[in-house]
Chains A and B, each alone.
Chain A
Amino acid sequence: MNTPNELRPGEKIFSILLVLFSGFLFFESYKISQFKSLVTSGAMPMFASTLMFVSSIFILINTFSKNKTLKQNSFQVIKYLFPLRFILFVLLIFLYTFVIQYLGFLLASGIFLFISVWSLWEKGPLPAILISLSSIATIYLLFRIVFKVILPIGTFFQ
């Protein structure tokens, strides 16, 4: 666990990216209605992005004045920010959000749940199948039948 005074892996790069990002947002806000008036659509985005930019400068200064306790390389940064389990799980999430519009809620969620539980729980495929089926059935009954919530419908399957 890092204390606020310890430098986290990749924190310096992250704080630089925040400055660049807020600068980009200021430029985008300026493009909305420039400095034409104080009450245009772009006025509040410009105020907010200016404040964002100032805050990011303070964050940058604070980050660069922190104690560097560990020697950091790019591998440690990736390991800290994006561990393999995280990368694979996020990829699976985005695959799920993509296929749900084709396969529909029941099939896409069932497959997503099975793969996730199987890989994360490490108890074998059979418990993963049982948990996936029972969970999806419960969610469907509770939300579709009881709460009358419309669940995502697929192009190929309902």
Chain B
Amino acid sequence: MENIIYFTIAWLDPYLMMLVAAGTFAGIYVGAIPGLSVTMTVSILISFTFKWDVNDALALIAGIYVGGVYGGGRTAILLNIPGAPSAIATAFDGYPLAKKGLAGEAIGLTTVMSVIGGLIGVITLAIAAPIISDFAIKFTSREYMLLGIIGIFLIGTLSGEGFAKGAFAGTIGVMIGMIGLDPMTAQARFTYGSINLMGGVPYVVAMIGFFGVTEALVQLDKIKMPYIKQKISKIIPNWSDIKRYFKLVIKSSGLGTLIGALPGTGGDIAALIAYDQAKRSTKNPEVPFGSGAKEGIIAPETANNAAVGGAFIPMLTLGIPGDAVTAIIIGALYIHGLKPGPLLLTETPHLFWFIVGNLTLANLFLLIFGLSGVRIFTKIVECPKAILIPLIIILSGVGAYAIQNNPIHIAWAMVFGVIGYMLKKYGFSVAPIILGVILGPMIDSNYRRAMMGANENVSQFLIDLITNPISLVLVCFLSLMFISQIPLVKNYRKQKFK
């Protein structure tokens, strides 16, 4: 009964409800602008909520996340430019549909299916999180260390050009996370006598730099890219279509939630895998995939929204971010004095159910905003990049400054932005860096606790890793991840796939 009360806090408070609605609206519109990903939107906007009450901040964040993941799909359909990485697969069939004059129908269908996917993800979160949380109480420092390593390397294997580049980016993040005074011994690390560096690099400054500023600089190359407008027809989808594709929606939602729940993976990977699965499992599509198949837009859009609920599972139960956006949210929760992990559900259950309630509400607002204002939407999305890019820089600067009111953080964010730009130019992904910044200090402290538990004896430490069942499962998972990256194994898998 208490949980239901916590769940409905935002539903009964007009101010919180307004914040969820505003977040969803902002998420849809900002996330849809090509070049402004949901990660970037969340990283910039979240910095403004640090002085707020935690409930207000969580209400806005939930809305931005749900709206932002959905928003990217609209531009993929209308302009053939995915607004966010999670909408890449949507463009494959969404744009051909728009060229046939079915843009409105495609948007309507993806909106309804995204909402269903999002709700399935949230229901899974509500059911699975308490179970996982109970189980996670048994986790020791060893398991947390292994989970952190898995999180960084999993995103490394799935993003950018190959495992080596992913691992390199992840370790850059770990090294950034090491800067400052060691919390266990107070010894300075990489501070070079600078007082500003003693306190370390705030998570959000690194995030704003690597996502906000980097993406703005990358967009400089595409400043003169023209938009091709499409006609908008009717938006409300047919009931027969919803019934017809319902099985696919359930399947894609399950897949999306599961992939979203894996530490380090997110909506972009969920969408691509769901698209691939839909392509394989749909025997006789009305229209071939790639030429405007409705299955080709439903599967990725459902999966990426379902992944939102999934990504919250490891974040709230283990303190491990499910994807780059939850990595930012976890940073914000720490700043608000909360500690995501297995104890969050037992010590602050109201917070968990409040988040679940907000995500559900955000999905309902998504239905309202998703099925309306498409014509105004096209005008906003067409905002010239020459105006947008300097505005992103200013907002990034304000966001970086707002964390500790320190002007040096503006300069740090800009330096991170330039580094991120150079790395992107050579095929590196910046997402592992962010996970490294968040998970690096966690791996560090848990490794040292585990090693001290083994009396600094390496053989004992290794024996502990393989004699404990939970550790053993995680070690096997980590080993499989490394084995799958060996060129011989990769070639074998490629040949088998062919």
Contact = CB atoms under 8 A, between A and B. Distances in A.
Interface string A130-151: 0100010001000100011111
A143 B48 contact: yes
B175 A25 contact: yes
Interface residues of B, number: 60
Contact of A4 (B161, B394, B414): B161
A55 B451 contact: no
A96 B217 CA distance: 15
B384 A121 contact: yes
A44 B162 contact: no
Interface residues of A, number: 64
Contacts, number: 160
B2 interface: no
A52 B411 contact: no
A139 B394 contact: yes
Given A8-B425, A105-B398, A116-B390, A39 B452 contact: yes
Interface stretch (B30-38, B107-115, B441-449): B441-449
Dominant secondary structure of chain B at its interface with chain A: helix
A72 interface: no
A38 interface: yes
B448 A43 contact: yes
Contacts of B223: 85, 120
B48 to A, nearest CB: 5
Interface string B164-196: 110110011011001000101101011000000
For the complex of A and B, 4 pairs with smallest distance between CB atoms: A116-B390, A121-B386, A120-B386, A58-B164
Interface of A: 2, 4, 8, 11, 14-15, 18, 22, 25, 28, 32-33, 37-45, 47-49, 51-52, 55-56, 58-59, 62, 80-81, 83, 85-86, 89-90, 93-94, 96-98, 100-101, 105, 109, 112-113, 116-117, 120-122, 131, 135, 139, 143, 147-152
Interface of B: 48-49, 51-52, 161-162, 164-165, 167-168, 171-172, 174-175, 178, 182, 184-185, 187, 189-190, 213, 217, 220-221, 223, 384-387, 389-391, 393-395, 397-398, 401-402, 405, 407, 410-411, 414, 418, 421-422, 425-427, 440, 443-444, 447-448, 451-452, 456, 458
